[in-house]
Structure 1
Amino acid sequence: MALDPADLTICCKESGIFTVVKCRKKNSALKEYLTAYYNVPAFYEECKMEYLKEREEFIKTGIPTKKRLQKLPTST
């Protein structure tokens, strides 16, 4: 089965509450594709280093990365 994430999106939108049953094969294919990257040592190390960097920043600031990167409201 060729992987196209758009196919899974369309399937989910069309299936409604039956998504789990109707889109199982497409979801499994996408999961297999994505998890395969964690078996690539260079990619794993890159993710690990990014996590450790974000963790270090959180320990210093107490602010999660997601919150830190959001624009602050301006007073106008």
Structure 2
Amino acid sequence: MDPGTAEEHELRHVEKDVLIPKMMREKAKLRCAEQVEAFTKCCQENGFLMVLKCRDENAALKECLTQHYKDPTFYEECKQEYLKEREEFRQTGIPSKNRQQKVPTSM
């Protein structure tokens, strides 16, 4: 095994405890879009009463998100995606969000 390879896959504390969990939260919200939408709609319809009236929607959302947060396969998927983005950044010096943007066309 190439000695540099092991280092490439090691994660710093901030990557393990902050950056990958952040990616997991963002992806879990997308996977729980139905529950997010139901909870948001309930909150918008009930204003200050949302604390009382949106308990079921909130519980469903929390359950969906927690399922993803506790899934080791989902964590590994996000970790591999993070490592890929990190490697691309190291090669290009361009953050992934900037690489994915389309070039504006002139009018």
TM-score (structure 1 length as normaliser): 0.65
Which residue among 61, 66, 70 is the counterpart of 1:35? 66
Identity over the aligned pairs, expressed in percent?
Answer: 60
Unmatched runs of 5 consecutive residues or more in structure 1 = none
Alpha-carbon spacing, 1:42–1:24, altered in 2? closer, same or farther (3 Å): same
CA RMSD of aligned residues (A): 2.7
Alpha-carbon spacing, 1:61–1:9, altered in 2? closer, same or farther (3 Å): same
Unmatched runs of 5 consecutive residues or more in structure 2 = 1-31
Q: Which has the higher contact order (CA 8 A, sep 6+)?
A: 2
Which residue among 89, 96, 99 is the counterpart of 1:58? 89
Counterpart amino acid of 1:21? V
Q: Deviation digits for residues 26-45 of structure 1, max 9, x if unmatched?
A: 23431331121232222221
